[in-house]
Amino acid sequence: MSGESTKKEKVISKRIDRFFMGLESAYLFVKRFFKEVWFPPYEFKEVIRQCYQIGYNSLPLISLTGFIVGVVFTNQSRPSLAEFGATSWLPALISIAVIRAMGPLVTALIAAGKVGSSIGAEIGSMKVTEQIDAMEVSATNPFKFLVVSRVLASTFMIPVLVLYTDFVALLGAFVNVHANEMTSLSTFFVQVFDALSFLDITSSLVKSVIFGFTIGIVGCYKGYNSTKGTEGVGKAANSAVVMAMFLIFIEELLSLQVTNFFRQL
């Protein structure tokens, strides 16, 4: 009996050790990013290539999802407002919901799935096929070329995608509102912008930057530390998505608290 409990204790202690070692290695990875990002050589070409991959290649998926979110959210909100005879408030309600929360969150979750997994898998497969070692022996800093460029690109492009998603979701909402309430485009957008404050837009952009950084750094960290051949690549891609999504929700919660604090000032 005591032998069994000692065995269990060992397993638990190993898991705790592994958890803290993982935290330390993630901390060192992020620290290395902030150390290397400021100094030359700068991989501008690679950053632009990655911006194209992350931004342009995500447009079809983001467009479709954003539009559907706008249409569905408007449709679901109408009955509640109709009970109070307040359907004219729909544009204001939707703009606040989309700009403050749904636009950044939906974009970040889609990007975590699409971009995070692709970064994790790409860097993971480069790691297990010795391509990263090959860069290192040809006197190139692979961290700078692969990690810094991807994290920067994702940090720049996610806010751009969020703005685009906001616009497409509002367009979807307009289509629905126009079909039901016959509201014109100009009236709709006047009401949308009237409902928004400077804090709404800045907080949305600031958290998009944080989401972008998270997606990039988690994907790179998981890929860069992948082991055990092709199985490891799959695991890296999968855990990059799971970890990024988890962190995005935590960051959303924290950003809500911070924004509310500023709102009350």
Amino acid present at 91: P
- Binds other proteins by CB under 8 A, chosen from 105, 110, 126, 148: 126
CA separation for the pair 68, 64 (Å, rounded): 6
- Interacting stretch for other proteins, rule CB under 8 A, among 111-119, 132-140, 159-167, 229-237? 132-140
| CB of 188 closer than 8 Å to CB of 178 | yes
How far is residue 158 CA from its own chain's centroid? 7
In angstroms, rounded to a whole number, what is the distance separating the alpha carbons of residues 116 and 214?
Answer: 9
Please identify which residue in the block is written with the tokens 């971009």: 115
Stretch that binds other proteins, among 101-109, 133-141, 150-158, 232-240 (CB under 8 A): 133-141
Residue 36 in contact with other proteins, rule: CB under 8 A: no
For residue 29, the minimal CB distance to other proteins (Å) is: 17
Scanning 65-73, 80-88, 127-135, 200-208 for contacts with other proteins by CB under 8 A, the matching segment is: 127-135
Contacting residue, 122, 203, 213, 237, with other proteins by CB under 8 A: 122
DSSP summary character for residue 113? I
182 lies in the binding site for other proteins (CB under 8 A):
no
| Residue 223 interacts with other proteins (CB under 8 A): yes or no | no
133 near other proteins (CB under 8 A): yes
User: Are the C-beta atoms of 172 and 70 separated by less than 8 Å?
Assistant: yes
- Kindly state whether residue 137 participates in binding other proteins, applying the rule CB under 8 A: yes
Question: Is residue 54 at the binding interface for other proteins, with CB under 8 A as the rule?
Answer: no
Handedness of CA 194, 197, 200, 202 (dihedral sign): positive
CB contact at 8 A, 189 and 94 = no
Contacts with other proteins by CB under 8 A lie at 41, 122, 125-126, 129-131, 133-140
